[in-house]
Amino acid sequence: MSIWRTLTYLGCFLLIAGCRQNNGALDAQDWQTYKQRFIAAEGRVIDTGNGGISHSEGQGYGLLLAVEHGDRETFQNLWQWTRANLQVRNDKLFIWRKRPNVDLKDEDHNNASDGDMLIAWALWKAGQQWQQPDYRNAADAIIADIKQKLIVSWHGLSVLLPGEQGFVKDDATTINLSYWIFPALRAFAEADPDPVWQRLGDSGLTLLQQARFGRWQLPPDWLRLTAANTQEPANNKRFGYDAVRIPLYLILGGMETQTLAKFADYWSFYQGYTPAWIDLSENVIDGYGASTGMIAVKQLTLWRNGRAQAISLPALDAEQDYYSSTLLMLSKLGAR
């Protein structure tokens, strides 16, 4: 079944189930806390767990959360900083990182496709929500460059490159399945009638069915697609900090609950403990446990897969870093 037909069938169910069972709805105080802790006055999102840098992913999440909370002033501030400091390539994509006190000429000008997608999606939503053609036009330009520069073919599947440079070798293409932001792909399909977005969404689901490793048959943070038509975990060979976003994006995209089953099996097994990662080659888990944000994704997944009767997500607090806080905020979007 096509991703788009699945989305149509499941959308109404999600709305009904959310209204009936959700007590993790968006909270104005959460947004105020998030802004105070992570959004600087000039409009940059600060990654407190990574040396205080800013990156396209963080700006995209900030823009998305601003739209969802109806905060036009913060959205515009974020967009102005993003455009001035990250949209500095010879196209409409964004450099992936901006460090404090480092000149733009000294930064890596490669992009990160998840950041590009998040920013374009947020702009597209803002253009619709606030009837701002400038936001829609900016989104359309980014979407066009994503299509032109970041989508390639691998053995009949449309594949999203993590960035324009450095991920395609003679023997393999390396991808990150958590960069398939399914609700963004749905928005892009509405903005641009090219069937490439449906193909990309369907390929993402296919890869998630095929790229299963270890005891729990989970997707890795990074995946190598070889020229010989095989798949293997890349880099640290873990399901962890990147791949935890996969079930989150499936839920935000309205995907059917059976796609969540493997994630729910894994998280159900450890009961009161939530691993931050598991090694997919040796099935070894970490010993210090997941962050509040990762636990929120777990709770949301178990609820949506029918393993929990209700969901209760905590308020944002000062103990959480940028990434954990963002995962918690996104989980509340999914619970809504």
Concatenated DSSP letters of 2-71: -HHHHHHHHHHHHHHHHHHHB-----HHHHHHHHHHHB-TTSPBPBTTTTTBEEHHHHHHHHHHHHHTT-
- Residues 88/97, Cβ–Cβ less than 8 Å: no
- Dump pLDDT digits (tens) for 175-211: 999 999 999 999 999 999 999 999 999 999 999 999 9
Burial class (CB in 10 A: 0-12, 13-18, 19+), 257: middle
Q: Are residues 16 and 78 in the same domain?
A: no
Q: How far apart are CA 157 and CA 171, in angstroms?
A: 17
Residue 33 falls within a domain, yes or no?
no
Predicted confidence at residue 27, as pLDDT, reads 87
Clarify whether residues 164 and 305 are in a common domain.
yes
With respect to residue 239, please indicate whether it lies within any of the assigned structural domains: yes
Domain residues for 326? 1-23+150-336
The answer to whether residues 248 and 328 belong to one domain is yes
* pLDDT mean over 162-184: 97
Do both 197 and 135 map to the same domain? Answer: no
Distance CA 329, CA 313 (A): 9
Same domain, 329 and 266: yes
The answer to whether position 219 is within a domain reads: yes
- Residue 268 has what pLDDT? 96
57 is catalytic: yes
- Residues 200 and 96 both lie in one domain: no
Domain contains 28: no
The residues with which 47 forms a beta bridge, in sequence order, are 53
Question: Does residue 159 sit in the same domain as residue 299?
Answer: yes
Averaged pLDDT for residues 126-149: 98
Would 31 be classed as within a structural domain?
no
Among the candidates 119, 148, 177, a domain finishes at 148
Domain check: are 154 and 134 in the same one?
A: no
Q: Please name the residue that has the structure tokens 């806080």.
A: 325
Q: Give residue for tokens 């991808």.
A: 175
Bridge partners (DSSP) listed for residue 151:
160
Question: What is the average pLDDT across 49-75?
Answer: 97
- Total-model pTM: 0.93
Residues 207 and 306 in one domain: yes
Q: Is the pLDDT of residue 157 over 80?
A: yes
**pLDDT by residue (tens digit) across 84-103?**
999 999 999 999 999 999 99
β pairing state of 172-175 and 157-160: unpaired
Task: Report whether pLDDT(15) > 60.
Answer: no
- The domain boundary residue, chosen from 118, 148, 178: 148
Q: Categorize the per-residue pLDDT at 310 as very low, low, confident or very high, splitting at 50, 70 and 90.
A: very high
10 found inside a domain: yes
Which stretch of 8-12, 26-30, 224-228 has the lowest confidence by average pLDDT?
8-12
If asked whether residues 133 and 161 sit together in one domain, one would say: no
Long-range contacts of 214-219 (CB under 8 A, 24+ apart): 214/239, 214/278, 214/279, 214/280, 214/281, 214/283, 215/283, 216/262, 216/265, 216/266, 216/269, 216/278, 217/262, 218/243, 218/262, 218/263, 218/266, 218/278, 218/280, 219/177, 219/243, 219/246
List the CATH number of the domain containing 323.
1.50.10.10
pLDDT tens track for 219-236: 999 999 999 999 999 999
Asked if the structure places residue 208 within a domain, the reply is yes
Q: Are residues 164 and 220 in the same domain?
A: yes
Whether residues 242 and 169 share a domain: the answer is: yes
Annotated active-site residue in 57, 116, 221, 242: 57
Given pLDDT bands bounded at 50, 70 and 90, which one contains residue 256?
Answer: confident
Average pLDDT in the chain: 92
Name the residue among 315, 153, 148, 334 with its Cα closest to residue 244: 334
Q: Is the dihedral angle over the CA atoms 279, 284, 287, 292 positive or is it negative?
A: positive
Domain boundary among 113, 130, 148: 148
Residue 129 predicted with pLDDT over 50: yes
> Residue 109: what pLDDT?
97
Q: Is residue 334 part of a domain?
A: yes
Reported confidence tier of residue 65, pLDDT bands at 50, 70, 90:
very high
pLDDT at 315: 95
Given 47, 114, 116, 279, the catalytic residue: 114
Is 114 assigned a catalytic role? yes
| Whether pLDDT at 19 is above 50 | no
Number of domains composing the chain: 2
Mean pLDDT of 41-60: 97
Distances (CA, A) of 63 to 22, 82, 108, 317: 24, 10, 23, 20
Mean pLDDT of 267-276: 94
